[in-house]
């Protein structure tokens, strides 16, 4: 398998910017529950952040951003200080947003 890379020009030409703008406007207008993030100290320097968000209407989307902040990673392991994972699903277990 070969991984395909796209230039900025190819991406720009392929995307329907007007539809994207309309979809973003509709999503922001629909609103969402976005509680304050949970911050959990893992050590004196390291932190785990959990940032949930969900919508009651429409597709009932549910997502959680998980962030680890570990400033010592660069010196110890040559890894990034921050690592992020985003999980997105529907409100019905096992079903992604919009039933896709």
CATH number for the domain harbouring residue 58: 3.30.1780.10
**Is position 8 within any domain?**
no
**Is position 25 within any domain?**
no
**Is position 76 within any domain?**
yes
Residue 43: its pLDDT value, please? 96
pLDDT at 2 over 80: yes
- The percentage of the chain sitting over the pLDDT mark of 90, rounded to a whole number, equals 36
Residue 66: its pLDDT value, please? 97
Q: What mean pLDDT comes out for the span 76-91?
A: 86
Q: For residue 55, what are the domain limits?
A: 32-99
CA–CA–CA angle 96, 97, 99 (5° rounding): 70
The domain total for the chain is 1
* pLDDT grade for 16, boundaries at 50, 70 and 90: confident
**Is position 92 within any domain?**
yes
Mean pLDDT of the chain: 85
**Is position 45 within any domain?**
yes
């Amino acid at each position: 398998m070969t991984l395909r890379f796209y230039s900025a020009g190819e991406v720009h030409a392929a995307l329907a910017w007007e539809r994207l703008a309309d979809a973003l406007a509709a999503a922001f207008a629909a609103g969402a529950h976005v509680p304050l993030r949970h911050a959990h100290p893992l050590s004196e320097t390291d932190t785990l952040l959990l940032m949930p968000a969900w919508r009651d209407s429409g597709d009932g989307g549910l997502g959680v951003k998980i962030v680890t902040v570990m400033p010592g990673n660069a010196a110890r392991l040559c890894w990034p200080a921050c690592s992020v994972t985003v999980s997105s699903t529907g409100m019905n277990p096992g079903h992604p947003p919009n039933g896709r």
